[in-house]
Amino acid sequence: MNYSKKTTLFAFVFCVFHAFSQQLPQFTQYMYNTISINPAYAGSREALSVVALHRSQWNGFNGGPKTTTVSINSPLRNDKIGLGLSFINDQLGFERFSYLYGDFSYTIRTGVNSQLAFGLKAGFTQYRLDDEFLGDPTVINDPFFNDISNHWTPNMGLGIYWHSERWYVGASSPRIFTTDYNKQEEFEASERVGYYLTAGYVLPLTENIKFKPSFLIKATSGSPLAYDFTGNFLFYEKMWLGLAYRLDDAAAVLIDFQITPQWRIGYTYEQPISDIRPYTSGTHEVLLMFELKFKNSKYKSPRYF
């Protein structure tokens, strides 16, 4: 690694840290990955639900973010308690963030068809720098990079999730503590605290066509509010087709197929509308979901969120 490359990377890492470091990765298909931001979602689908999602952001842009998440959640036998486990691996240039968190939810009935769940999330976040970067001769003996790399720190989150078969509203903060990864005193390198508000509704248009609008609002300390709006059409309970828009950032096309009652696949293509647009061919997301419904489940038809 030459001097200019090291200097550029140092400035990049410093700027990221000086801005209070990392916030949770974003997904266009957030409505199918709710467990990663809201622990109260655990068990709400009345099934053993396993979700894998990969996001390759800003393709063609060197060092663009790449994120993979795998989660599992299920209600217990009394259906008031839900448990979940999620893992996220997030890469940005030479930086690596890993999140391993468990989820607990408790649900109370608020009406004939509605329920309110309270959730708690707890686990660990790891920050490290890429082995290739740390192994470079110009970096390997640099105490700055070795001090900030490979840290496991505990954190926790809270959430509520109110839902029925046709609508949902959720509010959460998946990380409520700020943690300084940097041992030096020159600047602070903290994990950001984020707050999420989500909602969605399913509107039957015809016997075989339904429309589901949804939104996500994210507030992160030190950053402006982020707004995601999505509109999906469901055809014959088999295919979802929709559009998504992130205010002043990106627009996307989504398509999902319910291959069997247990298996679902999805794909999203996202095109930035910000200043980075000339430098990238877009963003790709791939979703794979497996669900095993329980015999005593109240929901016999496919779940919409």
Match 């839900």 to its residue by tokens. 82
Q: What is the CA radius of gyration of the chain?
A: 20
Query: Which pair of structure tokens corresponds to residue 11?
Result: 């400035």
Q: Please give, one letter per residue, the 3-state secondary structure of 38-74.
A: CHHHCCCCCEEEEEEEEEECCCCCCCCCEEEEEEEEE
Domain ranges for the chain, please list them: 3-293
Tell me the three state secondary structure of residue 12: helix
- pTM, two decimals, is 0.85
- pLDDT value of position 181: 55
d(CA 92, CA 127): 11
Give the residues across from 212 on adjacent strands: 232
266 within 8 A of 242, measured Cβ to Cβ: no
The whole-number pLDDT of residue 129 equals: 75
How is 146-199 classified by DSSP, letter by letter?
HHHSSEEEEEEEEEEEEE-SSEEEEEEES-----B---SSSS--BPPPEEEEEE
Element (H, E) at 293: strand 283-293
Measure the N-to-C terminal CA separation of the chain; round to a whole number of Å: 47
pLDDT score of 137: 53
77's tokens: 């036998």
The per-residue DSSP string of 6-43 comes to HHHHHHHHHHHHHTT---PPP-TTGGG-GGGT-GGGTT
Of 94, 98, 134, 97, which Cα lies nearest the Cα of 11? 94
> Residue 90: helix, strand or coil by DSSP?
strand
* Residue-level pLDDT at 33: 87
Residue 296: per-residue pLDDT: 60
Statement: 3-293 belongs to CATH 2.40.160.40: yes
SS (H, E, C) 117-144: EEEEEEEEEEEEECHHHHCCCCCCCCHH
User: So what's the pLDDT on residue 247?
Assistant: 94
Q: What is the pLDDT along the chain (305 residues), one digit of tens a residue?
A: 443 344 334 434 444 443 335 667 889 998 888 999 999 999 999 899 999 999 999 888 777 899 999 999 999 987 899 999 999 999 887 788 899 999 999 999 999 889 999 999 999 998 877 766 555 555 555 555 555 567 788 999 999 999 999 999 999 999 998 766 555 554 445 567 889 999 999 999 999 999 999 999 999 877 889 999 999 999 999 999 999 999 999 999 999 999 999 999 999 999 999 888 888 889 999 999 999 987 665 555 567 88
